[in-house]
Amino acid sequence: MVKQLVRAPIYQQLNEALREFIRSGEYEVNSQFLTERQICEQFNVSRATANKALSNLVAEGVLEFKKGVGTFVRGGVLDYDLRALVSFTEKALTAGKKPSTQVLHLEVLLAKDAVIDVAQRLGVHLDEVIYYIERLRLADDKPVILEHRYVVNKFCPDLTTDELAGSLYALWTEKYRLDITGADQRIHAVPLRGDEARLLGVRSGAAGFQVISTGYLSGGVPLWWEQTLFRGDAYEFHNRLGPVQTARPAAGMLLDIDNSS
């Protein structure tokens, strides 16, 4: 049965339709995907459009091209939902992957001694005790997230390396009974370089996302501030937008993504 695409641009619709094929589980990881000819027949598009769609999905890391053999499905990308805070552990399990964490660094220090000025960001005094935490998050033993996080000590005293090897959200809500109400986030496209690229297992200059975030307890009290890096080929950012709004930002104004829940 031929699937007819309507409305322009056709190539964007085709990209999304092919992604849906992959998300549906119809094609298993490492299985051979549709050929250009099959895409042309199923969606009634030109060879050039089919080629462009496949090339886009290869560039995104969703598909992998093997010369002389064909195009194959790579391990499914992880979904980053912009509407709510969901633990990496839950997301990885939902995607059928095994989550794991390497705790690279855990330090207790005074806010004034932090490399980055976090006292104002966390709403604490310079002499207040905070944690500095570095973690590498892996899905099926593939590094996908590198976290640099500062946390207010008084809300979760006596954190251990073993505890940090699991879900922080679960630890905070279950052990410390904290009421986490949401987070403000800024998301930037960045090149991954140096030690960060090495830890994430990508070549220097590979595409990534940097998430700068402040997480809050009830009453708008900051709990953490972080600068976290995501592999660009491992994540797909997902959101559902509301109705059209007429207000427009002033010229030169940056658009913020608010991830408060």
CATH of the domain at 31: 1.10.10.10
Residue 27 lies in a domain: yes
> Does one domain contain both 135 and 209?
yes
Residue 223 lies in a domain: yes
Residue 239 in contact with residue 245, Cβ under 8 Å?
no
Over 70: is that where the pLDDT of 237 sits? no
- The reported pLDDT for the residue numbered 258 is 45
Range of the structural domain that residue 62 is part of: 10-73
Residue 213 lies in a domain: yes
Residue 84 lies in a domain: yes
In the listed set 51, 73, 95, which residue is the last one of a domain according to the structure? 73
**CATH number of the domain to which 239 belongs:** 3.40.1410.10
Mean pLDDT of the chain: 84
Tokens representing 150 are: 């500062």
> Does one domain contain both 103 and 21?
no
- The reported pLDDT for the residue numbered 89 is 76
Over 50: is that where the pLDDT of 260 sits? no
Mean pLDDT of 135-164: 95
> Does one domain contain both 144 and 247?
yes
Mean pLDDT of 174-187: 93
Residue 2 lies in a domain: no
Over 60: is that where the pLDDT of 7 sits? no
> Does one domain contain both 33 and 104?
no
- Reported as a pLDDT band with limits 50, 70 and 90, residue 115 is confident
Per DSSP, the three-state class of 155 is helix
Per DSSP, the three-state class of 36 is helix
Residues whose CB falls within 8 Å of the CB of residue 181, separated by 6 or more in sequence, listed in order: 216, 217, 218, 220, 260, 261
Residue 99 in contact with residue 89, Cβ under 8 Å?
yes
Q: What is the separation, in whole angstroms, between the first and last Cα of the chain?
A: 42
Q: What is the pLDDT of residues 24-62, one digit of tens each?
A: 777 777 789 999 999 999 999 999 999 988 888 887 667
Residue 3 lies in a domain: no
With 0.75 as the threshold, say if the pTM is over it.
no
Residue 185 lies in a domain: yes
% the chain with pLDDT above 70: 80
Phi, psi dihedrals of residue 103, rounded to the nearest 5°:
-85, 110
> Does one domain contain both 168 and 220?
yes
Instruction: Tell me which of 53 and 79 has the higher pLDDT.
Output: 53
> Does one domain contain both 227 and 102?
yes
Instruction: Please tell me the distance from the alpha carbon of residue 202 to that of residue 136, in angstroms, as a whole number.
Output: 14
Q: What is the pLDDT of residues 63-72, one digit of tens each?
A: 888 888 889 8
> Does one domain contain both 123 and 139?
yes
> Does one domain contain both 180 and 121?
yes
Q: What is the pLDDT of residues 209-236, one digit of tens each?
A: 999 999 999 999 999 999 999 998 887 6
Domain total of the chain: 2
> Does one domain contain both 28 and 118?
no
- Reported as a pLDDT band with limits 50, 70 and 90, residue 248 is low
- The reported pLDDT for the residue numbered 261 is 37
Helix (H) or strand (E) holding 40: helix 36-43
Distances (CA, A) of 51 to 1, 6, 138, 157: 21, 19, 32, 55
Per DSSP, the three-state class of 126 is coil
Instruction: Please tell me the distance from the alpha carbon of residue 62 to that of residue 31, in angstroms, as a whole number.
Output: 12
Mean pLDDT of 90-118: 87
Helix (H) or strand (E) holding 185: strand 180-192
